[in-house]
Copies of this chain bind each other. A is one copy, B any other.
Amino acid sequence: DFIYSLENDVKPSLGTSDEALNEFIERGIISWGHTRDLLERGLMFVKQARSPETSNRLCLLLEGAPTAGTSALAAYLAKNSDFPFVKVITSSEMVGYTESSKCLRIKKMFDDAYRSELSCIFMNDLEQLMGYSPIGPRYQSIVLDAMYSLLSSSPPKGRKLLVICTSKRREVLEELGLLPMFTAVLRVPYIREVEDVRMVLEESQAMSSAEVDEVCRHITHGEVFVGVKKLLGLLDTMRVMKDVDTQERVAAFCNLLEDEGVYKPSA
Kindly list chain B residues whose C-beta atoms are within 8 Å of the C-beta of A90.
Answer: 149, 153
Smallest CB gap from A127: residue in B: B177
Kindly list chain B residues whose C-beta atoms are within 8 Å of the C-beta of A133.
Answer: 139, 141, 144-145, 176-177
Contact pick for A128, options B44, B47, B148, B239, CB 8 Å: B148
Q: Report the Cα distance A133→B48, complex, angstroms.
A: 31
Selected A-B contacts with CB under 8 Å, 13 pairs: A44-B240, A44-B241, A48-B236, A54-B240, A91-B149, A92-B153, A95-B150, A96-B104, A133-B176, A134-B177, A168-B177, A183-B233, A183-B236
- Kindly provide the distance from the CB of A36 to the nearest chain B CB, expressed in whole angstroms: 18
Q: A44-B240, A144-B133, A145-B131 are in contact. Are A177 and B53 (CB under 8 A)?
A: no
**Cβ of A98 under 8 Å from chain B:** yes
Closest CB pairs A-B (n = 4): A96-B103, A92-B153, A66-B180, A54-B236
| A51 x B240 contact (CB < 8 A) | yes
Write out, one digit per residue, whether chain A residues 172-212 have a CB within 8 A of any chain B CB (1) or not (0). Answer: 10011100100100000000000000000000000000000
Smallest CB gap from A236: residue in B: B54
- Number of this chain's copies in the complex: 6
| B128 x A149 contact (CB < 8 A) | yes
Smallest CB gap from A148: residue in B: B128
Q: Report the Cα distance A153→B30, complex, angstroms.
A: 21
| B48 x A237 contact (CB < 8 A) | yes
| A96 x B146 contact (CB < 8 A) | yes
Kindly list chain B residues whose C-beta atoms are within 8 Å of the C-beta of A149.
Answer: 90-92, 94-95, 128
In addition to A90-B149, A90-B153, A133-B144, 9 A-B residue pairs with Cβ atoms within 8 Å of each other are: A47-B240, A66-B180, A92-B153, A95-B150, A96-B103, A98-B100, A133-B139, A134-B177, A135-B137
Kindly list chain B residues whose C-beta atoms are within 8 Å of the C-beta of A176.
Answer: 133-135
